[in-house]
Structure 1
């Protein structure tokens, strides 16, 4: 399970260190693709296969389903770590997530996300102000 929040820096060559706790769960090969809210999603191959199955179950006759499938697949790339535990982020993915230098890598249960540090701070501020109301909207959810 991916959890936690880690601040890292992207170097001049577009390489990002993925937290060691995440690397141990990812294996040698993993997937990074566009995420919602202008972040990137990272998946172990086994979890990516589950995502693929869910996407494949969408009706190809539905225009919105086709858009969603194209959104995730067209930017997906299979990644590997270098010897220092870094991953090279493709330029198109960096542009999607507005990544330049400072970023935050967060765990989200079955996957991890990569956020621009300023965007993550803004997102958290907005979510924190609505957290009680947000949680109340999910009947039966308890902590």
Structure 2
């Protein structure tokens, strides 16, 4: 849970908030996410993701594309003593990250966004929030 803003340095290092670091451990997996974001998983959660992806039908072209898209970019990242991870350039390019990042909690993982892209995404989602809630069903709030 939560939303934080940090800046990435010129070496591709990003400070991960202690709240998330404490839940992740010393190593995490970073890969491409949806909507030009990056998804960050604990090693345990990554194992679950791998299992779910392995269940996709390899006879379906889009399933193969999706699996390749996720696995080809996945990288293990270790936290340094300052609580930073080093994000590879191909992932920074995918997420359109230049400097400022939004780090957001999303259920079983967290995501890293370019801060401007996250602001735009939030504004768009806020406009359609009631319609989205209705479309996805009874949330029981």
What residue number does 1:19 align with?
17
Mapping 1:127-142, distance limit 5 Å: 127-142=125-140
**d(CA) in 1 for partners of 2:118 and 2:72?**
24
Q: CA deviation at 1:29?
A: 1.2
Q: CA deviation at 1:28?
A: 1.2
What residue number does 1:85 align with?
83
* C-alpha RMSD over aligned residues: 0.6
**d(CA) in 1 for partners of 2:7 and 2:30?**
17
What residue number does 2:106 align with?
108
**d(CA) in 2 for partners of 1:118 and 1:139?**
30
Q: SS of 2:120's equivalent?
A: helix
In the alignment, structure 1 segments of 5+ residues that lack a partner are none
**d(CA) in 2 for partners of 1:16 and 1:91?**
12
Q: TM-score, normalised by structure 2?
A: 0.98
**d(CA) in 1 for partners of 2:137 and 2:118?**
27
**d(CA) in 1 for partners of 2:42 and 2:68?**
20
Matched, 1:44 2:47: no
Matched, 1:117 2:115: yes
In the alignment, structure 2 segments of 5+ residues that lack a partner are none
Aligned length: 141
Poorly superposed stretches of 4+, deviation over 4 Å: none
Q: SS of 2:102's equivalent?
A: strand
Q: TM-score, normalised by structure 1?
A: 0.97
Q: CA deviation at 1:138?
A: 2.3
**d(CA) in 2 for partners of 1:139 and 1:125?**
22
